[in-house]
Amino acid sequence: MAFQLCALIISVLIISLLILKGLHPILSVIIGCSLMIWTNGLPYAATFTSGLESWGAAMMPTIFVTLLGAAFGVLYTKCGAIDSLARFLMKPSGLMKSANGKIVMCILGLVAFRVVLGIAGFANEAIIVTMLAVSGVIFRTADVDRRHLPALTAFAASVGTCLPGAPTMINVFLQLNLPGYSATAYFIPRLILWILFVVLFCLFMTIWLARDRRKGAHFEPGNMILPELADGAKLPPVWLCFIPILVVIVIYSVVGLDAWISIGIGVIAAILCLWKYYPVDENSKTRFGSVLEYCGQGVMLIPIQLMLMVLPTMILTQSPAFTWGVEALAESGLPMVVSLAIIVLIMMFFAGLGGVPAICPTFLNVFMPSGISMYTFAALVTWGVAFSGGLPTNASITVESNLADCSVKKTYPSIFIGSICTAVILYILAILTGLMGVWG
């Protein structure tokens, strides 16, 4: 069994390596999954069929959330609502005189900006370019080297993904797979960990950027296109931009409707509230047609290969070697929380957010009967996903580095310090709080 377990791990590493080397993600997934099946002696067609069925069962309920969140993001970008919110939330940074103070206020302004979007359920893929543009304007204002831009955008993505009580994909996955799970339960300890994540990032990046300034590093735009934010007279007022977001908050957190319904109603509210601010597209010729076109652009931002990255975990969990490894960890004599933390981290390392639905059955069948709270599991999953968001295999890091006109080699050191190190500290704290019984 040890050989088969090693083969599973190597197969998933091969998928990551092939993607890094430029092979199409779909082909990389097919090759890696085939290696898993062959090296573990599983029936090829039956295993693939079962994996695809599991993938469909796990992903289909979340597709509406993802697609509606993407449409929401594009609508807000097109009408200038994101520019309006960014201008409003970045104002405090202009009051700071010291370089370090300005950097911290800029980071906190971006955090507030991403929190607002995260509460509304915006998909990261729909706002990646917008977030980088806003971050670029921040860095130009604070005179910070652009090679640190992907670190800030990767952090902002984790801030939105790990936001407690919001209709994030983590909460949606857990609600679908854990009976009785509530996104708002244990809100205070979740919020404390989230705030600590922000504080540690600000601390690490301030120290890192101060070192850069001592070396004479400054902002240079390179080939980045960083226009000034749109004229305030042409933007929707800030109070109007907040209304659709408040609609989502009330429907999801107060009324308690499903995330996809809440975000869908938020999309309708965005269309109605911001109707006159949507530009008329040349091809559509009418505002109604243009709005439909913008929603379609959001949907197209979620390619099928991002969904298929879940498939390897569905194949992996069918192998007897995986079950053997889980049982070996559970019987190793380690505290059950520590054993669970090791398994969660491995799954998040290989599959990121896509590993959440795959690991839930293991938790329910092996660890929950031993008395571990589902909210301990949720804390581990949350900060495991934050850790995976800073890995070099995360496709968005490559995209963000290209948009910043830098190589991943240049951008990754600050990503490692800002995202990986910070997430590891939070993951350790999640383990410790689980051992102390904070999560029930």
Q: For 119-131, how does the pLDDT look when each residue is reduced to its tens digit (9 = 90+)?
A: 666 655 555 666 6
402 is written with which tokens?
């290209």
- The count of other CB atoms within 10 Å of the CB of residue 128 is 19
To the nearest 10°, report the CA torsion of 280, 284, 289, 290: -40
334 is written with which tokens?
């380690």
203 is written with which tokens?
């601390």
Confidence of residue 132 (pLDDT cuts 50, 70, 90): low
CA distance 121 to 65: 8
Q: What average pLDDT score do residues 140-150 get? A: 75
Contact 5, 325 (CB under 8 A): yes
* pLDDT of 188: 94
CA distance 21 to 13: 12
* pLDDT of 229: 45
Percent of the chain's residues with pLDDT above 70: 80
Q: What average pLDDT score do residues 197-207 get? A: 87
193 is written with which tokens?
């960990």
Between the alpha carbon of residue 105 and those of residues 84, 133, 142, 203, 328, the distances in Å are 18, 17, 10, 12, 48
Report which residue type is found at 82: I
Q: How many CA atoms does the CB half-sphere of 173 hold within 13 Å?
A: 25
Report which residue type is found at 16: S
Of 344, 321, 349, 351, the residue nearest 434 (C-alpha): 344
Between the alpha carbon of residue 217 and those of residues 210, 238, 312, the distances in Å are 10, 35, 42
159 versus 221: which is more confidently predicted? 159
Contact 385, 353 (CB under 8 A): yes
356 versus 314: which is more confidently predicted? 356
- The count of other CB atoms within 10 Å of the CB of residue 69 is 33
Contact 301, 69 (CB under 8 A): no
CA distance 83 to 103: 20
Q: Which range, 4-8, 18-22, 39-43, 191-195, has the best average confidence (pLDDT)?
A: 191-195
Report which residue type is found at 331: E
Q: What average pLDDT score do residues 336-365 get? A: 83
351-382 burial: b if 16+ Cβ within 10 Å, else e: bbbbbbbbbbebbeebbbeeebbbbbbbbbbb
Confidence of residue 267 (pLDDT cuts 50, 70, 90): confident
CA distance 103 to 414: 15
Question: Which residue is it, tokens 């968005």?
Answer: 396
Between the alpha carbon of residue 278 and those of residues 68, 134, 248, 270, 301, the distances in Å are 18, 20, 21, 10, 19
Kindly report which listed range (207-216, 230-239, 371-380, 401-410) carries the lowest average pLDDT score.
230-239
Confidence of residue 227 (pLDDT cuts 50, 70, 90): very low
Contact 35, 7 (CB under 8 A): yes
Q: What average pLDDT score do residues 418-434 get? A: 92
348 versus 378: which is more confidently predicted? 378
CA distance 321 to 316: 9
Three-class SS state of 429: helix
Of 75, 71, 72, the residue nearest 236 (C-alpha): 75
CA distance 249 to 223: 39
Residues in the chain, total = 440
Helical pair 44-78 and 124-142, crossing angle rounded to 10 deg? 50
Is residue 438 within a helix (H) or strand (E), and if so which, with residue range? none
Contact 14, 32 (CB under 8 A): yes
Contact 426, 197 (CB under 8 A): yes
CA distance 12 to 40: 13
**Phi/psi of residue 136, each to 5°?**
-65, -40
pLDDT digits (tens, 9 = 90+) for 248-263: 878 877 787 777 788 8
Cα dihedral 189, 191, 194, 199 sign: negative
Alpha helices in 21-98 (DSSP H): 25-39, 44-78, 81-90
Task: Give the chain's mean pLDDT.
Answer: 79
- The count of other CB atoms within 10 Å of the CB of residue 39 is 17
Q: What average pLDDT score do residues 262-278 get? A: 87
pTM: 0.75
Q: What average pLDDT score do residues 405-411 get? A: 76
